[in-house]
Structure formats: structure tokens, C-alpha cells
Amino acid sequence: MTALLRVAETHPACHVLGPGSRFVVWVQGCGIGCRECVSPQWIPFEGGRDVPVAELAEQVAREAADGLTISGGEPFAQAGAVAELVARVRARRDLSVLAYTGYTIEHLRRHGSADQRRLLAALDVLVDGPYLVGRQAAVRWRGSANQRIHLLTDRHAGLAAEPDESAGLQFEVAADATVRWLGVPPVAGLRPRLEERLGLIAREAGF
């Protein structure tokens, strides 16, 4: 029987949360509680929807171009289901896998559960540490300077030589004129300003 993963949202082709074009799974629920978290709607464990891991793995293997990114919410809060997702995807395709966590890698190695250590062992890249608004920085794929990119396999070894700068944001306009954006804001407090501005544009345009 396949596990269920509590999922907040997915996207099949994100270019700003890891190398290349990646299928992104944002899981629902996080117990860490960083001040000014950029995704507060994904902190409660009650939201989102339960998705069978086998079904999601099929979709990732079918649709991902270069890799899978798991963000949230806190992926390591559902480590067993996320580890199963990675194993099922890899059984179909040898995709790069990157995960975010608000824990440090040292904490996961020393105090992590068996499922958390199993997930860690399956990753190519881990972006770790809580978001600290006082240390906000325009760094690659992260929100604050304390967060680190760990290259856990050789798959992306070339990244270490590349400049550590913001990957920017990805904007999409749907057929009904709604605007969606992905990525890590390079400056603090950008989200409310951005969404207010997008709302103003929509209202001005009569949508």
C-alpha cells in the first residue's frame, strides 16, 4: 500500500528552485515557525490535500525535465512519505532531487528519525536552515544568508564554482489573467508588496 503525502501545491517546470527545470512539490505543514516565513499558508498541517505517493511519483517521472524539488512547508516533517516518493521516482527515472528543510543538516544527522536519515541519504542537494528575516540576502535558491546549499552527491558538483546570487522569480499569467509567481524573494517583505501590486494591476485592468 502506498503512503499518502500531504501536498500544498505542485508545479511541473520551475526554473528558480534548483538547477534546471524542475517539478516542485510543496508539502503542507511545518512546525518550525520562522518569523516572516514566505509561505505562511503552508505552515498549518490541516491544509492541503492527501495525495497517494505512487500517483505523484508517476506524475513527477512523466513531467519533470531535469529534477524534483521538494519544498513546503517542511519536507522532513513527512520524511517517510517523501523518501518513498523519491524512491518511486528514481525507480522510473534517475532524476536529480533537491529538498529544503528548516532544520540544519547537523541536526538531522544527529537527531533525525530513521525516515529523516533515509530521506537525507537519497538527496543530491539539501538546502538547510530556518529562514532568518534579519539575515535576508539575495543568494541562490535561499532566503537568508544562514541557509546553506549542501551538494550531497557529485551530480551537481559544478555548482560550487558558480556565483551565489539570487535565481530571481518566475511569473506566469494564466488564461483567466491570474498571476502566479514562484521562487525565493531576494529582499525581505517583497511578497506583500508584490501581491498588492499584482492586485492593483488586476483591478486597474478590470479583471
| Minimum distance of ligand SF4 from residue 55's CB (angstroms) | 24
Q: φ and ψ at 38, to 5 degrees? A: -75, -15
Q: What is the CA radius of gyration of the chain?
A: 17
> Residue 38: CB partners within 8 Å, gap ≥ 6?
131, 143, 184, 185, 191
Query: Which residues contact ligand SF4 (rule: CB under 6 A)?
Result: 30, 32-34, 37, 39, 43, 72-74, 102, 130-131
- Residue (113 or 178) nearer to ligand SF4, CB: 113
| Minimum distance of ligand SF4 from residue 188's CB (angstroms) | 12
Helix axis angle for 79-92 and 114-122, nearest 10°, is 30
- Residue (86 or 184) nearer to ligand SF4, CB: 184
Q: What 8-state DSSP symbol labels residue 47?
A: S
- Residue (19 or 72) nearer to ligand SF4, CB: 72
Helix and strand numbers (H, E) in the chain are 5, 9
- Residue (88 or 184) nearer to ligand SF4, CB: 184
Q: Give the other-Cβ count within 10 Å of 17's Cβ.
A: 22
Where are the alpha helices (H) located in the chain, listed in sequence order? 53-63, 79-92, 105-111, 114-122, 190-205
- Tracing cell 530556518 back to the chain, one arrives at 130
- Residue (76 or 88) nearer to ligand SF4, CB: 76
| Minimum distance of ligand SF4 from residue 154's CB (angstroms) | 27
What CA–CA distance (Å, rounded) separates 49 from 36? 24
| Minimum distance of ligand SF4 from residue 1's CB (angstroms) | 29
- Residue (67 or 72) nearer to ligand SF4, CB: 72
| Nearest-CB residue for ligand SF4 | 102
At residue 154, the 3 state secondary structure works out as: coil
| Minimum distance of ligand SF4 from residue 67's CB (angstroms) | 20
